[in-house]
Chains A and B, each alone.
Chain A
Amino acid sequence: MNSGIPIEITGLSKHFGSVTAVEDLSFTVQPGRVTGFLGPNGAGKTTTLRVLLGLVKASSGTATFGGTPYHALKRPLETVGAALDASFHPGRTARNHLRVTATAAGIAASRVPVVLEQVGLTEFADRRVGGYSLGMRQRLALAFTLLGDPSVFVLDEPINGLDPEGIKWIRLFLQRLAQDGRTVLVSSHLLSEVQQSVDDVVIISRGRLAKTGTLSSLELESAPRTIADSPDRPRLAAALAQAGLEYTEGRNGFIVAEPDPGLVGHAAFVGGVELKSLHRLKSGLEESFLALVNGEVDHVEIAEPGPPEASGAPEASAAPDEAADAAAPTDAAAPTDAAEPAPPDDRESPPADGAKE
């Protein structure tokens, strides 16, 4: 019964007075895949989803389910399951919430215990929602989406508020939905929150599309680099220069614009330099995600992954030609003026750089 209905957003704009929430947004969400709808808070994700669901009127453009806007769907809840802000009347029980909805949508009341069981709420079904934790509300919101056994799922920040067990559970849940051939759109302001669940990403920033594609295409956008350190840094620097490798000095060694640590190790070997560390810079997804959504800001400072080997300004001076271009297509010039003129000063203060952000 899940024929596979794509979500189609075309030239969508929404203005609230003089504030532009969404501007000329176009993308398609394919069935059979989990698509992450990503962007920082205030990027316009929720507005886009609410327009898609007919709750907010678009200023221009369209948002449809395979060409049909939400209000024109014959059986809306049996086509689209949507979880938005997990808000319920606190004085009503979970079971009654679902009953009220099932009645309004013409769905058999016998679905209610089924979906409660599916999300693991059976035990609490007759408790008033006012006493629910955020995680339980999220589960109830998911039960709501499942009522009509729809072929499209639109979930706004469904992972927010879940405990680790709940997060694991929802990952499996989403993947199973996609395996059934359903369309699954999941919004989040944290890539790390959904990166294990999504196949595709749609990234928006300030109401505009920043990127759309597969998750792995996002990974490719951040040029991988190698960290190398030596007790004798000047000699390592000389050896790297000798090998023709671009590098910059970070707190924990040199960040070399070379994805293969083997080549960097070879350069050190040729130069006869002792190495005390040599590994690939862990970065990738989150880094390029942040670069995309913060294109306008000085993203060099933001692009600092958790591990200490990543210093304040990794990509800028090292490889202005490829790393910066790839990571920040919108604004390739911004990082260079921050880091390039004075790399020696810059490397002394990565924590400060980080703190500034």
Chain B
Amino acid sequence: MIRALGSEFQKVFTTRTWWLLTLLLVVYVAFLAGGLGAFFGWALDNPDAAADSSSATGLPTEGLAPLVYSFASSVGYVFPVLLGALAVTTEFRHKTLTPTFLAEPHRTTVLSAKFLSQLLLGAGLGVAAFATSVGAGAGALAGFGIDTALDSSDTWAMIGRGVLAMALWGTIGVGLGSLVPNQVAAIVIVIAFTQFVEPILRLAASFNDVTAKIGQFLPGAASDALVGASFYSVASAGGSATMLEWWQGGLVLLGIGVVTTLIGGATTWRRDVS
């Protein structure tokens, strides 16, 4: 298992995908956290002008910093999913399952190693993302004299939960990749689901109490519950959205990752490699 794990890390770090994704993640998060931090700062400084642009009205300055920092996971979670999915689908696409299974004929060991390595790599991406969001966000907020909340243990707890969320998203990527071995299809599903389908579902679900209860189990909602601060939870229906407890959210994410990986491991992963 240790060998398989080592090999999985080597696989990731010997191609360019990982740093391309990391780079994109950092740039994306820096842009949003820094940009939004600056926008809020400007809006608070200029309440009249901001009132016209409607979205930032009535935002309290307290709680603003965690919200800005949480962009790392609330928009960045797609990156560990992609990295995890690619770790699996690449093997199918480039037919490297043959050498992989020749070196380690026990397929469960290989998939478990992928699951664990992506959990750790997801955490790594989480650290990079939160370092970026805190760096850019705190910089922007401090520039407008807003409390950066970096002296608060709550903030750091939130960041820790955010890193955990990113790690769990990595395992969901592994599960997705093993369910959908076609690389293009997997990427399309990741992008479409995280960027369009789920936000729409969450919004639609929030209009009704029954659907809202179901909607809280959507992975993105669970992730936000785990992190505890999110742009969506604030933006949707004035923060009244039904949310799970943070640990429930974590369990939902873990459950999705484990179940999809198990199903994938019992189906496509078992198939003949030719």
Contact = CB atoms under 8 A, between A and B. Distances in A.
B17 to A, nearest CB: 8
A142 to B, nearest CB: 13
Contacts of A105: 3, 103-104
Contacts, number: 84
Main secondary structure of the interface of B (DSSP, over half): helix
A104 B95 contact: no
Interface residues of A, number: 34
A103 B3 contact: yes
Contacts of A47: 274
A85 B98 contact: yes
A85 B14 CA distance: 21
B104 A50 contact: no
A242 B2 CA distance: 81
A31 B100 CA distance: 26
A56 B104 contact: no
Contacts of B104: 76, 104-105
B14 A96 contact: yes
A56 B272 contact: yes
Contacts of B4: 104
A54 interface: yes
B102 A53 contact: yes
Interface residues of B, number: 27
Given A56-B274, A57-B272, A85-B98, A103 B6 contact: yes
Interface in B75-125: 90, 94-106
Contacts of A85: 95, 98
B10 A77 contact: no
Contacts of A106: 3
Interface string A28-64: 0000000000000000001100100111110000000
Contacts of B99: 88, 97, 101, 144
A71 B108 CA distance: 12
A76 B105 contact: yes
Q: What are the nearest 4 A-B pairs in CB distance?
A: A104-B7, A87-B95, A96-B14, A104-B103
Interface of A: 46-47, 50, 53-57, 70-71, 73, 76-77, 80, 82, 84-85, 87-93, 96-97, 99-101, 103-106, 144
Given A85-B98, A97-B14, A101-B102, 15 more contacts: A54-B105, A55-B101, A71-B105, A76-B102, A76-B104, A76-B105, A80-B102, A82-B102, A87-B95, A89-B11, A89-B96, A91-B15, A92-B14, A92-B15, A104-B100
